[in-house]
Structure 1
């Protein structure tokens, strides 16, 4: 049973810049730069027949032109119990793609995504990191330069069950434009 999600790949040169933020946070499990991505729609563990349906219907995505993605700052999910450090990503194109994929994936009978869409690149998953440790980590990172790249495709990724953080495999690619 594959675990699937769609996303935008992060170019190697942007990944290299993001990887400079690795380290200095107790309890962090850092994601390997080659596994950096922006998740558009988490699909989850599904049977092979449904996976084929998902792969096929994603081909119905409206062909839009390549677009610029901007990564602009560090943040965390989890509030008082921080669980992820990430780099914020955003623009309306990512949100539009997420919404379109949500509609398409629901057409094959999968339930709606429960979580609010927040475009980001996960840098680390946290285990027992205190809010003070996270605040100290952010305080020592200084200015985060704006990073931009052009998204020319989105992909259907698979991952191994219960691993989190990769390795991710590109199962299908869908060009933009």
Structure 2
């Protein structure tokens, strides 16, 4: 009975996503602690850190308070974390290593192929399909014209025989 239940259970993905999200939040809690402690050790306010690093205050607050609604996604937060490491005099890649783990986890889930997200122009699958369509078209056109050329040549030969 459990096998049938697991086969038709649609919440499997949501359970995996919950584990994934909780793992990400734990890493960002660690990042937020490190940023806040380093800022406090240097006796900087959020406003001063924002001025030094040229990062908006709301972004720094979202990182320190682990607010995922305001916090930027991975490609953008990577550059922000690098800048914060420099400004807070943290060891190189301490914050970045935590964020890289997040990217690897997200990549594992994104390997599914969904047909409705299939893009003919910007993906290698689309390029491959386009290439096969071109080759097939060239093959069909070549075959069509070769067959027609032979028919035309035979008719020309028949007409020459009849004329003689």
TM-score normalised by L of structure 1: 0.26
Larger Rg: 2
Determine which structure has greater relative contact order: mean sequence separation of CA pairs < 8 Å that are 6+ residues apart, divided by chain length: 1
Higher strand share: 1
Higher helix share: 2
